[in-house]
Amino acid sequence: MQENEFEKDRIGVTLSEAEKEFMGIELMDRVMKKWLPAANALFDMVTFHLPSPHVAKIYRGDKLYTGPTSDSYSEAIKDCNPDGPLIAYVSKMICPRGNKGFLAFGRVFFGRITTNMKIEILGRKFVHRGTRDVHDQFITKTAMLTSESDSWVYPIRAMRFSVYPVVRVRVECKVNEDLPKLSEALNLLAKADPAIICTVEESGIHVVTTVGDKHLEMCLNDLRNDFLNGTEVIVSEPFVAYRETVSSESSHTVISMCPNTQNRLHMEALPLNISVVGAIENGQIVTPVNPEDCKNILCEECDLHSWGFPFGCKARGLGWRSYVGGSIDLTDVVYSRAHGLDGLPSLAQRVVHASQLSAKPQLMEPFYEINIQTPKEFINTITTLLTERHGHVFRSTKMQRFGAPLHKIIAYMSVRHAFGFSTELSNASANLGHATSAQCKFNIGR
């Protein structure tokens, strides 16, 4: 009784007789849920510590809107003007449990959205004054909403994640008759999670790509419980997506020609500077996706830009892996209108492939940058766990903080060796009496 009153006076938590029998992490988890519920704590933190939209838009408006800072849309975003045309951004589609419909979660930047309002949905491929990816009845993953069909409007900058889908599994039906149901369920899953990619191999097998083993476990649970409704599926062991690149400039210019010998392409491959790769990943450099912006006669007339070159970079080289971190230079073109355009897309694929092979191609393996905070006495245990999984400790520093001193460990580990590492680390630290977790950030290693 005295113990119960002590708990009530100190932190306002009352435990039942059964809960008092809990030990370690289980006891701490129960106390924290009663004393500081995560939902209430997060809501209060957002309410009291984050700036209001009216304040934040002043300095975030230029980062959100891709158009000029002087146009009317940019000014309306900064002013949070409710009287202008609607501009909103849907960042996530939420599927309520047991319901095949979706709820769109987003934010209105200016204007008002009302019932029975007619809006235009600008998809992820929408380009200013270019080809619009417009869906009149549905949204795929994310979208921009506007009440104006104005070709001068610029899109809201898409969200960027610190992780990238690299962990894959193959998903098959136990019964072939359930294949349509599986296809529909995977489409719904891909729509609900912006960080997941669902594809179909040439063999017809569905592949689900996620950002890590925990994310994979969560997605498979959602697939089975929310979208398949008891339909049994076979899931393969997880495997990792690799990429290809080149380590030097092409040793010579590669030439490929059509059977008529009148159409020829000359190309060279070379690696991109790491700063350029980082700028592309961060969205500071955007590759052109509007065919109208490309003035090359080959791109305009035979569609090499939208077919030949992208396909050659997506599935060529050493092992049909996507080509990243490098560029393909078109050094010369010999083109004859009299002999037609047949064969030019496949010609571009062959010359891209050959240019990569002439520039010392390499495979790139995805790596995690792992951040761990732990007491000093657990450093050896964590280092042993990292070493067993071929991890490399890059830095270990002491953190300046109040209370018990902590050490910050930064390590690198390949994604294929990181399967189950977070669970193993949590179990090992719990047995030693301290809850330790790892924050994994995607990094690229060769």
Domain that holds residue 193: 167-241
d(Cα 56, Cα 78) in Å, to the nearest integer?
A: 8
- Report pTM: 0.69
Q: Is residue 160 part of a domain?
A: no
Query: Which of 190, 223, 241 is a domain's end point?
Result: 241
The region of weakest confidence among 137-146, 152-161, 292-301, 336-345 is 292-301
Whether residue 270 is found in the same domain as residue 375: no
CATH number at 373 reads 3.30.70.240
The DSSP 8-state label assigned to residue 253 in this structure reads: -
Higher-pLDDT residue of 150, 58: 58
Mean pLDDT across 142-169: 78
Higher-pLDDT residue of 214, 277: 214
Amino acid at residue number 97 = R
pLDDT of res. 236: 92
Amino acid at residue number 346 = S
pLDDT of res. 316: 56
Mean pLDDT across 108-115: 86
Q: Is residue 157 part of a domain?
A: no
Both structure tokens of 445? 């290693």
Secondary element (H or E) of residue 398:
strand 392-399
- β-strands 143-146, 167-173 pairing: unpaired
Whether residue 117 is found in the same domain as residue 179: no
Q: Is 279's pLDDT higher than 50?
A: yes
Contacts of 77 (CB under 8 A, 6+ apart): 57, 61, 64, 65, 87, 109, 110
SS3 110: strand
Closest CA to 106 of 151, 150, 63, 142: 142
CATH number at 78 reads 2.40.30.10
Mean pLDDT across 282-293: 51
Query: Which of 359, 384, 415 is a domain's end point?
Result: 359
Contacts of 270 (CB under 8 A, 6+ apart): 246, 248, 249, 250, 326, 327, 329, 359
Q: Is residue 58 part of a domain?
A: no
Q: Is 204 left (phi over 0), alpha (psi -120 to 50) or beta?
A: left
Q: Is residue 422 part of a domain?
A: yes
SS3 272: coil
- β-strands 243-246, 103-110 pairing: unpaired
Higher-pLDDT residue of 247, 430: 247
Mean pLDDT across 337-350: 70
Higher-pLDDT residue of 256, 342: 256
Whether residue 230 is found in the same domain as residue 274: no
Q: Is residue 61 part of a domain?
A: no
Of the pLDDT bands very low, low, confident and very high (cuts 50, 70, 90), residue 138 is: confident
Q: Is 228's pLDDT higher than 70?
A: yes
Whether residue 334 is found in the same domain as residue 250: yes
Q: Is 170's pLDDT higher than 90?
A: yes
Per-residue burial over 113-150, b if 16 or more Cβ lie within 10 Å, else e, is eeeeeeebbbbeebbeeeebeeeeeebbbbbbbbbeee
Whether residue 349 is found in the same domain as residue 300: yes
DSSP bridge pairs for 88: 108, 145
Whether residue 352 is found in the same domain as residue 276: yes
Q: In sequence order, which ranges of 134-229 are alpha helices (DSSP H)?
A: 179-192, 213-222
Whether residue 218 is found in the same domain as residue 312: no
Whether residue 227 is found in the same domain as residue 208: yes
Q: Is 5's pLDDT higher than 50?
A: no
Percent above pLDDT 90 for the chain: 5
Query: Which of 205, 221, 241 is a domain's end point?
Result: 241
In this structure, how many other beta carbons lie within 10 angstroms of the beta carbon of residue 71?
A: 13
Q: How far is CA 311 from the centre of its chain?
A: 21
Q: Is residue 155 part of a domain?
A: no
* pLDDT, tens digit (0-9, with 9 covering 90-100), for 369-416: 899 888 888 888 888 999 999 998 888 888 766 666 788 899 999 888
Distances (CA, A) of 44 to 13, 40, 208, 278, 420: 19, 6, 36, 35, 33
CATH number at 237 reads 3.30.70.870
Contacts of 426 (CB under 8 A, 6+ apart): 435, 436, 437
Q: Is residue 291 part of a domain?
A: yes
pLDDT of res. 315: 54
In this structure, how many other beta carbons lie within 10 angstroms of the beta carbon of residue 445?
A: 14
Residue-by-residue DSSP string for 331-351: EEEE--GGG-STTHHHHHHHH
Q: Do 425 and 214 form a contact (C-beta atoms < 8 A)?
A: no
d(Cα 141, Cα 123) in Å, to the nearest integer?
A: 9
Q: How many domains does the chain have?
A: 5
Higher-pLDDT residue of 371, 280: 371
DSSP bridge pairs for 407: 374, 398
